[in-house]
Amino acid sequence: MTIQAGDKMPGGTFGVMTDTGPGAISTDDLFSGKKVVLVSVPGAFTPTCSMNHLPGFVDRAEEILAKGVDTIACMAVNDVFVMDAWGKDRGVGDTVMMLADGNGDYARALGLEMDGTGFGMGMRGQRFALIVDDGTATHVAVEAPGQFEVSKAEAILDAL
């Protein structure tokens, strides 16, 4: 079943890069007692993700955080090394937390996986953005295939 506004976020763990190498963050640590914008992209270094989706959240981070958001996080079905390299390539710094959903377990738990095998990408996460308040999804914006409207930074700013 696909996550809906009002649903509790499923439990899980993401890979993150730390100062000492690959690490992990639990969904409890990410969401408990916080307001989080969780953005999902089909893949690091892919055109729309790299040129528009992630940069929009980096560019508008100050405005998003000013609306009471504690964390902006970007997840993709990529490994922690790729997510770290992509974050460095896009200059995210500490603005956006880069989350690796390496096996797609979290995308699947949300009911938001997609089959990218036709593009040679395997199973991936759909393009979406969620607003999560203390572990509950309060806004769910999932893009139609090939679209980039409801999950971009400007749309999420309007929803906050």
Residues designated catalytic: 49
Both structure tokens of 12: 């899980």
CB-based contact 133:140 (threshold 8 Å): no
Nearest Cα residue to 17 out of 126, 113, 98:
98
Q: Strand order in 136-142's β-sheet?
A: 21-26, 13-18, 97-100, 71-76, 35-40, 128-133, 136-142
Backbone torsions φ then ψ of 102, nearest 5 degrees: -45, -40
Number of H helices, E strands in the chain: 7, 9
Q: What is the DSSP letter of 8?
A: B
Nearest Cα residue to 12 out of 123, 88, 96, 125:
125
